Structure 1
């Protein structure tokens, strides 16, 4: 969104980030990118086979300065609810990025693994997730986000147990 003098408004930039996050939360299941929510339809990509039925994603989210406490509070509420009520969410974690590793203190890395698409959809329909999405919009919490749905691993291993 541009103002009369040609400058990009902060609200326009924030709205683009929110659109990306909202699209991710409500529509995207698969590895594909879209210009906007209205140009995409939820679907699994034809060339990708989920890991043994699992859906996995990693997101790097830059929280706006001064908004990190609120974002983390909302995410904690989601994590608490998920831990107690959503056995189909196999991994649900947030890590802070560190400046010594090229990040900012307001960058978070989110990793989520769902048992299947139905589990993902149930999680996204939960009250804490809906509350978080609404708060991100109303309170303008996020500066940018990069969300990647992952295909099954091709090289390496997940754990040595």
Structure 2
């Protein structure tokens, strides 16, 4: 399990992929979605040129019903892009509300596919 301090200094491609899995506390989903939407909108704007991709998704169970788990797929031009994203006010606003996220796992990969079909 990684964290914000575990982001790689460098990868072969220079790009950094971050995959975040967040468990949101019951009853806090609407507030989380409001805050993460603000972070996503900023990430996908010209405010964050080092953010190449920022997608947010909510897990569904076998019947298609949404759960409290969210998956974020993020791609950055490098560590500086990741660091700049983390410093943006919309993400800081989310992180400041400590009663929303029950748990978070953050994993990193390099920005080049290594598995081909």
- Please confirm whether the aligned pair reaches a TM-score higher than 0.5, indicating the same fold: yes
1:133 aligns to 2:109 (yes or no): no
Higher-strand-fraction structure: 2
Q: Deviations over 1:73-112 (max 9, x none)?
A: 11011111222211210110111111118x9611111110
TM superposition shift of 1:153: 3.3
Q: Which of 78, 93, 100 lines up with 2:39 in the alignment?
A: 78
1:6-59 CA-partner distances (Å, limit 9, x unpaired): xxxxxxxxxxxxxx8xx823x2213xxxxxxxxxxxxx3xxxx62511010111
Q: Which residue of 2 aligns with 1:10?
A: none
- The aligned residue for residue 7 of structure 2 is 29
- Using the TM superposition, give the Cα deviation of residue 126 of structure 1 relative to its aligned residue in structure 2, in angstroms: 1.1
Aligned counterparts of 1:104 and 1:59: Cα–Cα separation in 2: 17
Structure showing greater radius of gyration is: 1
Match of residue 66 from structure 1: 27
C-alpha displacement at 1:61, in angstroms? 1.0
CA-atom RMSD in angstroms: 2.4
The alignment status of 1:95 with 2:74, answered yes or no, reads: no
Q: Which runs of 4+ in 1 moved over 4 A?
A: none
5+ unaligned residues in a row in structure 1: which ranges? 1-19, 31-43
Is the aligned partner of 1:149 residue 2:108? yes
Query: Which TM-score applies when normalising by structure 1?
Result: 0.63
Looking at structure 2, the residues matched to 133 and 57 of structure 1 have their Cα atoms a distance apart, in angstroms, of 17
Kept after mapping to 1: 8 A contact 2:44/2:52: no
Aligned length: 115
Relative CO higher for 1 or 2, CA cutoff 8 Å, sep ≥ 6?
Answer: 2
